[in-house]
Amino acid sequence: MPPAIEATGLTKTYGDLRVLDALDLHVPRGTVFALLGPNGAGKTTTVRILATLTTPDAGHARVAGHDVVTARSRVRRAISLTGQFAAVDETQTGAENLWTAARLSGLSRPAAARRTTELLDRFGLAEAGGRLTRTYSGGMRRRLDLAAGLVRDPGATQVMFLDEPTTGLDPRSRQELWQAVRELSDAGTTVFLTTQYLEEADRLADRIAVLGRGRTLAEGTPAELKARYAAHRLDVTAPDDVSYTLLTERTGPAATRDPETRTLGIPTDGTAAHVRELLDTLDPGRRDIARFGLHTATLDDVFLTLTAEKEPTRV
């Protein structure tokens, strides 16, 4: 069995902006894969190429064993996609939207009706199902859109693409979506998702790739990435605003900042030597740091460490 997704050398340029620069991806079947990256890193572009909505300038990709350029319709039959922005028909009710999606995906009338009820229920839209979606809140639209993406029999969807599935969802809806992703994955569907929420990637994904400057900056399990890129974080707190400003100038872009508490977090390997060196570099005069603490790294630290360089690649 070929992997769910295999991409080599994917390149995409818009004008003079190189969005993807020889991107490689490998996603084994049945896994949950999260693509992380700052705004504009090329996550949606990657999803659109893999889902056959746009073509790469160079490179190749196979999804469910089919080439995304030369075997588009085969790829399309094997995938399901929920885009970054909700695509619901405002002139229809929630139930009608799902029914239409179910029929389009090939379900029989009774099966479409069953699936519609089931999904309205699962996404907390049972009561609103009969209302025109024009009257839905942003979160309700998002949930309906996600439900539409799950309408197909899980057995028929080999790879599910979810582009920022939980942006704009309240915490409970987010939990429900996570549950739905886990169920899909347990049923054997490969899930490829993008997210800005690192906690989400941490909880859901078997493997994570961090996208930056058009390439994968790092790839691995959440635990591997944490261990490799930011084992620990040194938090330093300034005694006053003047010192806080000075510390901010002396730390690199990889530091986390919290002006409210005048605290900066700096990635470190946690060794005494490095912590000492950091304290000396940040506060040579020994007056700008009032307190410090050492913490185990979170995925946020990894992300900030890896994506510290902000400049996009110009061709």
Ligand X SMILES: Nc1ncnc2c1ncn2[C@@H]1O[C@H](COP(=O)(O)OP(=O)(O)OP(=O)(O)O)[C@@H](O)[C@H]1O
Contact residues for ligand X (CB under 6 A)? 14, 17, 19, 37, 39-45, 84
- Please state the closest distance from residue 47 (CB atom) to ligand X, in A: 8
CB 77 within 8 A of CB 158: no
- Residue 54 touching Mg ion (CB under 5 A): no
- Please state the closest distance from residue 186 (CB atom) to ligand X, in A: 28
Which class for 273: exposed (0-12), middle (13-18), buried (19 or more C-beta within 10 A)?
A: exposed
Amino acid letter, 105: S
Q: For ligand X, which is the closer residue by CB, 53 or 113? A: 53
Q: Quick one: which of 31, 84, 167, 237 contacts Mg ion (CB under 5 A)?
A: 84
Q: Where are the beta strands (DSSP E) in 108-251?
A: 159-163, 190-194, 207-212, 215-220, 232-237
Closest CA to 302 of 252, 251, 228: 228
Q: For Mg ion, which is the closer residue by CB, 193 or 205? A: 193
- Please state the closest distance from residue 19 (CB atom) to ligand X, in A: 4
Q: Which two tokens stand for residue 227?
A: 């261990």
What 3-state DSSP class applies to 248?
A: helix
In the sheet with 159-163, reading across from the earlier edge strand, the strands are 79-82, 159-163, 190-194, 32-36, 207-212, 215-220
Q: How far apart are CA 215 and CA 187, in angstroms?
A: 31
- Please state the closest distance from residue 44 (CB atom) to Mg ion, in A: 3
What 3-state DSSP class applies to 271?
A: coil
- Residue 11 touching Mg ion (CB under 5 A): no
- Please state the closest distance from residue 39 (CB atom) to ligand X, in A: 4
- Please state the closest distance from residue 164 (CB atom) to Mg ion, in A: 6
Q: For ligand X, which is the closer residue by CB, 84 or 117? A: 84
Q: At what angle do helices 138-149 and 94-104 cross, to 10 degrees?
A: 20
Q: Which of the choices ligand X, Mg ion, none does residue 39 contact, using the CB cut-off of 5 to 8 A by kind? A: ligand X
Q: Which of residues 24-43 bind Mg ion (CB under 5 A)?
A: 43
Q: Quick one: which of 44, 116, 185, 298 contacts Mg ion (CB under 5 A)?
A: 44
Q: For ligand X, which is the closer residue by CB, 40 or 284? A: 40
Contacts to Mg ion by CB under 5 A: 43-44, 84
